[in-house]
Structure 1
Amino acid sequence: MSPITNWPDPGGSSSVSLTANTLAELVEETARAVGAGRPGAVAVGAVLGEETALHGAPPDTLFEIGSVSKTFTALTLARLVVRGTVDWETPLAALLLEARVPEGAGRAITLGQLALHTSGLPRLPHRLMPRGRRGALDPYARCTADALLAELAATRLRSAPGRKFRYSNFGAGLLGLALARHTGRSYDALIRDEIAAPLGMADTRVELDEERAARLAPGHSRTGRPRPRWHLADLAGAGGLHATTADLLKLALVELGDGSGELGRAVALTHETERRIHRAHTIHPGWYGTRLPASLGRHAVLFANGRTGGHHALLAVAPARQTAVVILSANARSVDRAGFDLLGRLSVDALVTRR
């Protein structure tokens, strides 16, 4: 799990051009391009208006989605905010009563700051991270609740809460843990109850039973070496979910406005809540924000990506263009460029269709 270091430019590639190809053909082309020369299953899904298409691994193939899990954690927080159970400004300490939560400049860490990566917490719970190669194959396995809370008590903030954007797996994981504790459920059950079950996402979960484990695509490193599953223990809110392309397309449709009621309002809240972190980019609860190029109207794009030891995932949506892309790969090599190329090509078609 890692933050964006090289910001993608949706539309910056020469492959973004007007095409007469069907959605299915574009998705198939992308799946073949991503899978070429890399071991591991690949699955690509996309939305263009009212159409959807999938290609690659069977739609029920499961992948580790890494930091795309943060999108689910933040959306769950937003749903609880809409419900009135908590607020963006609710202190983390109010949900983790047994914990000693550090403060900075007299400011308390809030749930909203955890979702926006402005809490001041470090990127990782450093003392829980393995030092040897064997441990690095499953680096978050020691992040149990007790260990995380002990690490939190010993942590010195890198900046005052709310002051700076500092990407933090530690913070996102604590948010998931706090929401689970507050609702009296495991993080796995919380996500299934609040998001997966309402949207019919039957395979989106942390824990896999025997049948689902058999559908998990074996992971590979960027150089093609087999990699074992990651187990994030109680840091699961930062990157512990598994999902299929079919499930993530259901989430994408809701993010494009196909939802109503409490969940629809929660989606809108995550889109509207933002903080600028770069000249051309924003952070939202669960998302990075950027814009399509001027030739496509500079409409907003929200995206989340994730990497584990053996998988890479991308979910990107352009609500004004009613387009979305999902790419899941059982190889840790990035799929971001291919995903943004496809999103750009779909947005061209959306622009032409609406004229």
Structure 2
Amino acid sequence: MTTTTSLDGLVRRAADRLAAKRRGAVAVGAILGEETAMHGADPGTLFEIGSISKTFTSLALARLAVRGEAALDQPLRDLLPEGTAVPRRDGGEIELVHLACHTSGLPKLPRGLLPRGLFSSDPYAGCTPGMLLEGLGRTRLRSAPGRRFRYSNLGAGLLGLALARRAGGGTGSGADYDELVQAEICRPLGMADTRVALDPERTARLAPGHSRLGRPRPRWNLAALAGAGGLHSTVPDLLRLARTQFGDAPDGLAEAVALTHATGHRITGGATVRPGWIELRQPPGRGEHRTLFHNGGTGGYRSLLAVSPERRAAVVVLSADARSPDRVGMDLLTELAAR
């Protein structure tokens, strides 16, 4: 099939569209088959990726499950300190897969974060393991575990904390979660710039964040909620992660990716939440295929990772500006998936 615009041209056009309306840096990358293209900020530029971190947290769960070190249906209480009170509802208890698929019934934010953190420039910095676990026992579930999709940063953060404790025996702090992600995902894939904590060299490569109005915004510290949104990354690193969704992954990781694709909870007729992803199914009239995506946002950053596994197409958009790049990124993936 002949095409009028190359992959490189499409990615350049998307980056130019975004950069024209933002004060902060923008970086766009895409894959189509064996081709890769990147435009915008230097490929070594780091960004806060916000909730795309949840994709890493869920993949780490799948890695431990494949090795038999955890199970998707394992109760959360098994991985928390002895005596931690975990809420139940209608006789059901929270399992790890409920946290990964946002069906735990937990509220979006930890108990005690609001209103104190609502107007803070760094709203999650005080979320220590002790604060989260103490508040968990006083939290009321909004629905029975496993019954209803309800997006929860608290749930994803607790999953990261619990898995970090299981894998490393620590407290579940941001540093423990960082090491979990390095061991299970980043080192096997050669993703050297994806991490929670940044050393001085990587800090110098971090694009400064901006508000929607273009004003400078400080970095966020997700503390013990790092599994919900604490990672930094680059376009090249996230494209490496995207390729794993095509089945291109080392042994162990490929099995874990397949497990996340096979596990899910239906939201609507065309949408399913899977561990780390929202899956949209395109109807037969539009060339039936799946789109897996997750976006992210912190005080001064927005991000998008979207993949069409059957088309071997993927898009990464990172922006040091609080305005959403989702429309541009999803339009680019739609164009690539149609080729």
Bin for the TM-score computed over the shorter chain: over 0.9
Residue 113 (structure 1) aligned with residue 98 (structure 2): yes
Q: Which residue of 1 aligns with 2:173?
A: none
Q: Tell me, what secondary structure is at the counterpart of 2:245?
A: helix
User: Per-residue displacement from partner, 1:70-98 (whole Å, max 9, x unpaired)?
Assistant: 00000000010111111111100000033
Q: Which residue of 1 aligns with 2:4?
A: 20
Residue 168 (structure 1) aligned with residue 158 (structure 2): no
User: Which range moves more in the overlay, 340-349 or 43-52?
Assistant: 340-349
Residue 34 (structure 1) aligned with residue 18 (structure 2): yes
AA aligned to 2:244 is V
Distance 2:44 2:184 in 1: 21
Distance 1:267 1:348 in 2: 24
Is this contact kept in 2: 1:219–1:227, CA < 8 A? yes
AA aligned to 1:316 is A
Q: Which residue of 2 aligns with 1:333?
A: 323
User: Which range moves more in the overlay, 49-58 or 122-131?
Assistant: 122-131
Q: Which residue of 2 aligns with 1:11?
A: none
Q: Which residue of 2 aligns with 1:238?
A: 228
- For residue 70 of structure 2, the aligned residue among 83, 86, 94 is 86
Alignment of 1:22-101 (within 5 A): 22-98=6-82, 99-101=84-86
Deviation of the 1:126 alpha carbon? 3.6
Q: Which residue of 1 aligns with 2:264?
A: 274
Is this contact kept in 1: 2:302–2:325, CA < 8 A? yes
Distance 1:24 1:322 in 2: 16
Alignment of 1:281-296 (within 5 A): 281-292=271-282, 294-296=284-286
Alignment of 1:131-210 (within 5 A): 131=116, 135-184=119-168, 186-210=176-200
User: Per-residue displacement from partner, 1:45-69 (whole Å, max 9, x unpaired)?
Assistant: 0000000011010101000000000
State, as a whole percentage, how many aligned pairs show the same letter. 61
Distance 1:29 1:170 in 2: 37
Q: Which residue of 1 aligns with 2:295?
A: 305
Q: Tell me, what secondary structure is at the counterpart of 1:324?
A: strand
Is this contact kept in 2: 1:130–1:136, CA < 8 A? no
Listed as ranges, the gaps of 5+ residues in structure 1 are 1-17, 350-355
Residue 102 (structure 1) aligned with residue 102 (structure 2): no
Is this contact kept in 1: 2:287–2:338, CA < 8 A? no
AA aligned to 1:55 is H
Residue 261 (structure 1) aligned with residue 251 (structure 2): yes
Distance 2:116 2:180 in 1: 32
Is this contact kept in 2: 1:296–1:347, CA < 8 A? no
Distance 1:54 1:228 in 2: 26
Question: TM-score, normalised to structure 1's length?
Answer: 0.91
Distance 2:272 2:134 in 1: 32
Deviation of the 1:293 alpha carbon? 5.4
Is this contact kept in 1: 2:47–2:319, CA < 8 A? yes
User: Per-residue displacement from partner, 1:149-185 (whole Å, max 9, x unpaired)?
Assistant: 0110111111111111111000000000000011125
Alignment of 1:245-256 (within 5 A): 245-256=235-246
Distance 2:120 2:267 in 1: 30
Distance 2:120 2:256 in 1: 36
Number of residue pairs the alignment of both structures matches: 331
User: Per-residue displacement from partner, 1:220-255 (whole Å, max 9, x unpaired)?
Assistant: 111211110000000000000000001000001111
Residue 320 (structure 1) aligned with residue 304 (structure 2): no
Residue 124 (structure 1) aligned with residue 114 (structure 2): no
Deviation of the 1:130 alpha carbon? 4.8
Is this contact kept in 2: 1:176–1:237, CA < 8 A? yes
AA aligned to 2:337 is S
Distance 1:189 1:92 in 2: 20
- For residue 217 of structure 1, the aligned residue among 188, 207, 221 is 207
Listed as ranges, the gaps of 5+ residues in structure 2 are 171-175
Distance 1:130 1:330 in 2: 26
Q: Tell me, what secondary structure is at the counterpart of 1:53?
A: strand
Q: Which consecutive aligned stretches of 4+ in structure 1 deviate over 6 angstroms post-superposition?
A: none
Q: Tell me, what secondary structure is at the counterpart of 2:317?
A: strand
Is this contact kept in 1: 2:194–2:237, CA < 8 A? yes
Is this contact kept in 1: 2:270–2:282, CA < 8 A? no
Deviation of the 1:292 alpha carbon? 3.5
Deviation of the 1:258 alpha carbon? 0.8
Deviation of the 1:19 alpha carbon? 4.3
CA change 1:130–1:62 in 2 (3 A) is farther
AA aligned to 1:116 is C
